[in-house]
């Protein structure tokens, strides 16, 4: 509890900064993982292809230089790489055929490359092999039928995968480190971007705290385009609340001032024990009731004005008022004309009160005929209420809007009807004016209210 008010807990849905950073981190991880995997496949494929191309080159050299002599394979020019002459060097070649003794490179020494007869390799065939327990191999092979030979010979070139695997491992380590560093950098950038991007919101919070502390009355700092509309709406809301508070203070002061005189009269009469005390109390109490009714009507209109959804259909309100006034003044004929789909930016209760006052005044002071016309004009709905009475002199048409002013004191009333209509209409941004009716000859009241949009 603070300053006598119950402090309600603020509903929270988590940190906006954390959300933005987590979303950025998620996308960064997905994109880096996908990009890293694709780049790994491309680079590993390129390194492996380069490794295979070197083996294929040796294989082609063997095929080009191979010939048959006395039923065996001989090479007119052996590979120039001395590693083929060193036992266990890691690079090997071998020529094999079904039913024939294999012709291996010296580097194989006492080992032989596996030779399978389950398939023919008319094109170059490349694969990995684990046939040597202590050495993983990469092998390229091809089957050819040499001139002068009636069998298909399989030429094989193999090399240890140790160098290839070392290159791939080094490449992957570099990729992982590079992408990890890139990920950390991107996360730091996202965090900095979030902190900097949301900084205006923290400034707005500080400005609001300053307003609560009484150090400012508006958010006055310049804001980015995305935040500026919210700040403008906030300032407009503050201004609206200030106007309402000022109107409430003014109405309270006016009401206190209006009640002060009747209360003083009653107090003086009571103190003097006047003979007409009862009549004085009744008269002054009626005056106070008129003032209270007027200020209550205005206060209700001010309180409802802030609703952006305030809207009322004119025709149903007119029909309701027509029925109510018709029961009170059965001798009066009330005619209504105009479009039936017009809607005003006014609360229905306030619209009923304004129309009720105008139509009732026309029925009360007219000669028996009341004509109400509704129309639309330049963003406003215009309502004309005419009667066939004596009208109001032009020099009295301004004064008649003052509270308690009545030109015809022979009929019951409070003298607040037109004053309430004027005050409520002005609260909603409308106007009311008095004219002479050309058709009926009496008074014409022109009420203009803002039309509802949408």
pLDDT of residue 185: 92
Q: How many CA atoms lie within 13 A of 335 on its CB side?
A: 9
Instruction: Give Cα 43 to chain centroid, integer Å.
Output: 43
In tens, the pLDDT along 258-286 reads 677 778 888 888 888 887 888 888 888 87
Classify residue 387 as exposed, middle or buried by CB count within 10 Å of its CB (0-12, 13-18, 19+).
Answer: buried
Among 392, 355, 389, which Cα is nearest to 373's? 355
Q: Which of 74-83, 219-228, 302-311, 373-382 has the highest mean pLDDT?
A: 373-382
Which CATH architecture does the domain made up of 310-450 adopt? 2-Layer Sandwich (3.30)
Euclidean distance between CA atoms 227 and 56, whole angstroms = 65
Using CA atoms, how far residue 5 sits from 1, 2, 8, 268, in Å, is 5, 5, 9, 41
Among 169, 157, 166, 165, which Cα is nearest to 54's? 157
pLDDT of residue 406: 42
When comparing pLDDT for 138 and 208, which is higher?
138
| Both tokens assigned to 246 | 């000022």
Answer yes or no: is pLDDT of 249 > 90.
Answer: no
When comparing pLDDT for 210 and 333, which is higher?
333
Structure-token match 């306030």, residue found: 350
Among 139, 138, 130, 140, which Cα is nearest to 161's? 138
Q: Which residue(s) pair with 327 in the sheet?
A: none
DSSP tag of 118 = S
How does DSSP assign 278-325, residue by residue? HHHHHHHHHHHHHHHHHHHHHHHHHHHHT-TT--EEHHHHHHHHHHHH
Write down the domain spans for the chain. 68-160, 228-303, 310-450
Contacts of 350 (CB under 8 A, 6+ apart): 300, 301, 304, 312, 424, 428
When comparing pLDDT for 402 and 103, which is higher?
103
Beta-carbon count within 10 A of 305 CB: 20
Beta-carbon count within 10 A of 391 CB: 20
Mean pLDDT of 329-338: 91
Euclidean distance between CA atoms 68 and 72, whole angstroms = 5
Euclidean distance between CA atoms 322 and 335, whole angstroms = 9
Q: Which of 130-139, 202-211, 257-266 has the highest mean pLDDT?
A: 130-139
Cβ–Cβ under 8 Å, residues 84 and 93: yes
Indicate the pLDDT class of residue 253, thresholds 50, 70 and 90.
Answer: low
Region of poorest pLDDT, from 60-74, 82-96, 360-374, 377-391:
60-74
Q: Which long-range contacts (CB under 8 A, 24 or more apart) does 423-426 make?
A: 423/294, 423/297, 423/298, 423/301, 424/297, 424/298, 424/301, 424/350, 424/353, 424/354, 425/354, 425/449
pLDDT of residue 404: 43
Cβ–Cβ under 8 Å, residues 65 and 78: yes
| Both tokens assigned to 2 | 């603070």
**Phi/psi of residue 203, nearest 5 degrees:** -65, -40
Euclidean distance between CA atoms 73 and 296, whole angstroms = 119
Answer yes or no: is pLDDT of 76 > 90.
Answer: no
């Amino acid at each position: 509890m603070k300053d006598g008010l119950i402090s309600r807990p603020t509903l929270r849905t988590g940190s906006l900064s954390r959300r933005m950073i987590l979303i950025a981190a998620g996308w960064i991880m997905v994109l880096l993982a996908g990009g890293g995997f694709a780049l790994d496949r491309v680079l590993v494929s390129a390194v492996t292809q380069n490794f295979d191309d070197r083996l294929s080159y040796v294989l082609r050299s063997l095929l080009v230089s191979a010939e048959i002599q006395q039923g065996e394979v001989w090479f007119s020019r052996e590979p120039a790489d001395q590693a083929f002459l060193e036992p266990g060097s890691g690079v090997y070649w071998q020529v094999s055929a079904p039913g024939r003794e294999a012709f291996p490179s010296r580097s194989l020494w006492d080992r032989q490359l596996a030779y399978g007869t389950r398939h023919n390799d008319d094109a170059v065939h490349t694969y990995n092999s684990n046939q040597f327990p202590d050495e993983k191999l990469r092998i390229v092979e091809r089957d050819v039928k040499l001139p002068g030979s009636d069998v298909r010979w399989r030429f094989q070139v193999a090399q240890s995968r140790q160098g290839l695997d070392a290159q791939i491992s080094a490449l992957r380590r570099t990729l992982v480190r590079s992408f990890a560093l890139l990920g950390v950098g991107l996360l730091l950038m996202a965090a900095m971007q979030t902190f900097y991007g949301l900084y205006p919101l923290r400034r707005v919070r500080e400005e609001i705290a300053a307003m609560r502390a009484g150090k400012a009355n508006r958010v006055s700092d310049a804001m980015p385009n995305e935040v500026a509309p919210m700040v403008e709406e906030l300032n407009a809301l503050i201004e609206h609340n200030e106007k309402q508070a000022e109107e409430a203070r003014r109405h309270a002061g006016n009401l206190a001032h209006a009640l002060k005189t009747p209360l003083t009269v009653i107090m003086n009469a009571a103190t003097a024990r006047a003979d007409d005390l009862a009549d004085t109390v009744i008269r002054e109490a009626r005056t106070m009731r008129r003032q209270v009714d007027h200020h209550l009507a205005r206060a209700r209109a001010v309180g409802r004005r802030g609703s952006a959804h305030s809207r009322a259909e004119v025709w149903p309100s007119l029909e309701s008022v027509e029925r109510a006034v018709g029961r009170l003044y059965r001798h009066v004929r009330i005619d209504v004309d105009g479009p039936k789909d017009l809607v005003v930016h006014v609360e229905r209760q306030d619209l009923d009160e304004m129309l009720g006052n105008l139509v009732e005044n026309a029925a009360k002071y007219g000669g028996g005929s009341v004509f109400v016309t509704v129309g639309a004009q330049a963003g406003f709905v215009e309502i004309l209420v005419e009667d066939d009475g004596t009208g109001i002199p032009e020099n009295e048409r301004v004064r008649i809007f003052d509270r308690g002013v009545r030109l015809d004191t022979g009929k019951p009333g409070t003298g607040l009807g037109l004053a309430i209509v004027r005050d409520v209409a002005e609260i909603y941004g409308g106007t009311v004016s008095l004219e002479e009716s050309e058709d009926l000859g009496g008074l014409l009241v022109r009420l203009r209210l803002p039309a509802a949009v949408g």
